[in-house]
Amino acid sequence: MRIDIISVLPELMESPFQTSILKRAVQKGLAEVHFHQLRDWSIGKHKQIDDEPYGGGAGMVMMIEPIDKCISELKSQRDYDEIIYLTPDGETLTQKIANTLSIKKNLIFLCGHYKGIDQRVRDLHITKEISIGDYVLTGGELAACVLADSIIRLLPGVLNDEQSALTDSFQDNLLSPPIYTRPSEYKGLVVPEILLSGNSKKIEEWLHDEAMRITLEKRPDILD
Ligand code: 6GU
């Protein structure tokens, strides 16, 4: 998979891809992440990329020309499955969306800033708009990192068996059951006996019952 991320602040997104699991995914060639500084497609000697909104109002608007030039150049090099605009008014990211995007080959993420982008960019190029939740960030960059992380960890070979994405919360519309590790007792707090029993069938049943109980308690809305 290849992800091209367009932003005025690409440096904000470097470390997540230089650390731990995402770093290894990139090193193994399972994911390619390319950053594009939007100012490289800016106009005039002032490197302008934003301007005042027509009709007035507070805040600046990201101009169509630099974004169109950048996206058009990328599109001339390969076919993209989706061109995604990260925006608080997009569709809220879910595990289902991450799953769907994880089987694509080439993606563009466009990070918004200021008041947003000229509507004509959305009409011309954008195929999907994604938000990571009902709150407002200073820009789309952190959301782009969240989206990329949720997708890349699903690519075959990125996680090992112990980290398997198949047992994630949400993957089967259930939250994860409680987990424990040594010691079996700490300051009088004990691990449920069943987990120490060695009876794998009983343990599996218990884990499923606990997952169900916790989902009913915390997130009944995600149950089928
Ligand atoms: Cl994608 N962008 C911004 N600026 N704020 C957000 C968001 C995106 N998702 C949630 N809040």
Q: 137 alpha carbon to ligand 1 midpoint, in Å? A: 5
Is 132 part of any known ligand binding site? yes
Domain hosting 85: range is: 2-152
pLDDT higher than 90, residue 101: yes
Query: Do 50 and 147 sit in the same domain of this protein?
Result: yes
Q: DSSP letter string over 21-82? A: HHHHHHHTTS-EEEEEEGGGG-BTTTTB-EEPPTT--SS-EE-HHHHHHHHHHHHHHS--SE
> Can you tell me the distance from the alpha carbon of 142 to that of 147, in angstroms, rounded to the nearest whole number?
9
pLDDT at 182: 97
Atom number of ligand 1 nearest to Cα 90: 1
> Can you tell me the distance from the alpha carbon of 187 to that of 118, in angstroms, rounded to the nearest whole number?
59
Atom number of ligand 1 nearest to Cα 137: 5
Answer yes or no: is the C-beta of 142 below 6 A from any ligand 1 atom. Answer: no
**What letter does residue 175 receive in the DSSP assignment?**
P
pLDDT in tens, 165-196: 877 888 788 999 999 999 999 999 999 999 99
Question: Between vectors from CA 23 to CA 172 and to CA 70, what angle results, nearest 5°?
Answer: 95
> Can you tell me the distance from the alpha carbon of 216 to that of 220, in angstroms, rounded to the nearest whole number?
5
Query: Do 112 and 53 sit in the same domain of this protein?
Result: yes
Closest C-alpha to 214, from 206, 185, 165, 180: 206
Query: Do 32 and 121 sit in the same domain of this protein?
Result: yes
Residue 165 lies in a domain: no
Residue 159 lies in a domain: no
pLDDT at 171: 78
Q: For the whole prediction, is pTM greater than 0.85?
A: yes
Answer yes or no: is the C-beta of 42 below 6 A from any ligand 1 atom. Answer: no
Q: Any idea what the CATH number is for the domain that residue 116 is in?
A: 3.40.1280.10
Q: Which two tokens stand for residue 117?
A: 């982008």
Number of structural domains found in the chain? 2
Is 155 part of any known ligand binding site? no
